[in-house]
Amino acid sequence: MKKPMSRTEFVVLMAMMIATVAFSIDAMLPALPQIGAELSPGNLNRAQLVLTSFVVGMGFGTFFTGPLSDTFGRKPVVVAGVALYIAAALLAYLAPTLELMLLARALQGLGAAGPRIVVMAIVRDQFEGREMARLMSFVMIVFALVPALAPALGAVVINAAGWRSVFLIFILFTFVNTIWLMIRQPETLPREDRRPFRIEPMLMALKEIFSNPMVCLSIAVMTLNFAALFAMLSSVQQVFDITFGRGDSFPLWFGGVAVVAASASVINAVLVVRIGMRRMITTAMMAQLLICTLVIVLEVIGLPELMRFGLFVFWQTSIFFMVGLTLGNLNAMAMEPLGHIAGLAASMMSGISTVMAMMFAVPIGLAFDGTPLPLAVGTFALISMGLVLMGWLRRIEARQLA
């Protein structure tokens, strides 16, 4: 008889399963110059699509993995997602063209949606209320280590065995975590509690989401914040390497920024009770708008190279920090009227915001011209639109309370 899983083991396992997404994005960052040189030498910027195609695939997968796990159980859907993820990683490892690489990465993202969404359901099956929130905070603390370490690990693997070997590390990481899950984690959704997979409830959930202006506006602002994050992730390696000539030290800088920015969730937990979600979101976005303005003005005027680099690192940190102060609150605001369809609504909202964010982020990333200016202008536009929508949301809320 095997020993039951401890709370610590459960937290680490859940964090590692969720971390599949962050690891699959951030560990690729150091490989972008080599991918561009080998698969897209005529347009190096297209190498960024290796990141965004993964996120698009994950966004579409998010629509279905939650409902599928309600029908077939949590563990079978995780295994199916991981099997697709591993097959796609092998295809990417062998891909001779950028187009086939992008297809493989989209399929890899589709597979990664399995562990990303189902792990949340596993936690929700076993815990609720404050206990669930407390446990998820521990999960996210462990999870935060992955973005900090992934670029450095990716760089080590690339230097030792070439950029394609990163995909073998993805396979190993995911395979080990899944075997761990299968051996140690019992199925949390009994057969008698499973529901048939039907399209109608999904369409009804979408109808309810889009018929509520408060929910729509919250999702729209969430989308714009996601887009700012993904635009930064798409361009950050090129800025370090091409703009500042610091490609070799990029993994260390990225890890340091990730560690500092991880404190945003702690700060939000302390302050949001005092000042409220809407004010927290608006304040964080207004601060980001001011920082973007500063970056744009000083890029145009010109700064000594060291000061210019320091400003960019500060700005990168502020983007990650803003995300930590806004996305959780925006998700909570959107979910407020949808408690009766919480699980399905969460899948729908996550899918919508992720896919739509890519429509904004990809053009901004592809506009990179050797300087951070296109990224700063694009981010300024995204945050400006977000603040307009927050003002609109506040007026609707005030009318409802009147």
Which H or E run contains 196? Answer: none
Question: By the 8 A CB rule, do 245 and 239 touch?
Answer: no
Point out the domain boundary residue: 191, 226, 249: 191
Reply yes or no on whether the pLDDT at 141 is more than 70.
no
CB 112 within 8 A of CB 121: no
Q: How far is CA 142 from the centre of its chain?
A: 16
Measured CA to CA, the distance from residue 120 to residue 133 in angstroms comes to 11
Final residue in a domain of this structure, among 144, 159, 191 = 191
Residues 89 and 167: beta-carbon distance below 8 Å: yes
3-state class (DSSP) for residue 326: helix
In contact, 62 and 343? CB cutoff 8 Å: no
Query: Does residue 153 share a domain with residue 7?
Result: yes
**For residues 142 and 135, what is the distance between their CA atoms, to the nearest angstrom?**
11
Closest CA to 317 of 379, 255, 234, 246: 255
Residue 1 has pLDDT above 70, yes or no: no
- Residue 302's pLDDT is 87
Nearest CA among 247, 173, 205 for reference residue 24: 173
Give me 315's structure tokens. Answer: 């700005």
pLDDT tens digits, 56-102: 999 999 888 888 888 888 899 999 999 999 999 999 999 999 999 99
Say how far apart CA 383 and CA 228 lie, in whole Å: 8
pLDDT of residue 319: 94
Predicted pLDDT at 206: 79
pLDDT tens-digit readout, 142-184: 666 777 788 888 999 999 999 999 999 999 999 999 999 999 8
Task: Identify whether the C-beta of residue 374 lies closer than 8 Å to the C-beta of residue 202.
Answer: no
Q: How far apart are CA 242 and CA 48, in angstroms?
A: 14
Do 375 and 316 reside in the same domain of the chain? yes
Q: Tokens 């609150």 identify what position?
A: 329
Domain enclosing residue 72, as ranges: 1-191
Average pLDDT of the residues of the chain: 87
Query: Does residue 382 register a pLDDT over 60?
Result: yes
Domain boundary among 157, 191, 225: 191
* Token pair for 170: 């993805």
pLDDT in tens, 268-305: 777 877 888 888 899 999 999 999 999 999 999 988 99
Number of domains forming the structure of the chain: 2
Name the pLDDT band for 128 (thresholds 50, 70, 90).
Answer: low
Based on the fold, state whether residues 286 and 370 are members of the same structural domain. yes
> What are the strands, taking DSSP E only, across 140-250?
none
What pTM did the predictor assign? Answer: 0.86
Single-letter residue type at 286: M
Q: Are residues 386 and 244 in the same domain?
A: yes
pLDDT tier at 347, thresholds 50, 70, 90: confident
Domain check: are 259 and 361 in the same one? yes
Query: Does residue 177 sit in the same domain as residue 276?
Result: no
For residues 383 and 386, what is the distance between their CA atoms, to the nearest angstrom?
5
* pLDDT, tens digit, 9 for 90 and up, residues 21-59: 889 998 999 999 999 999 998 888 899 999 999 999 999
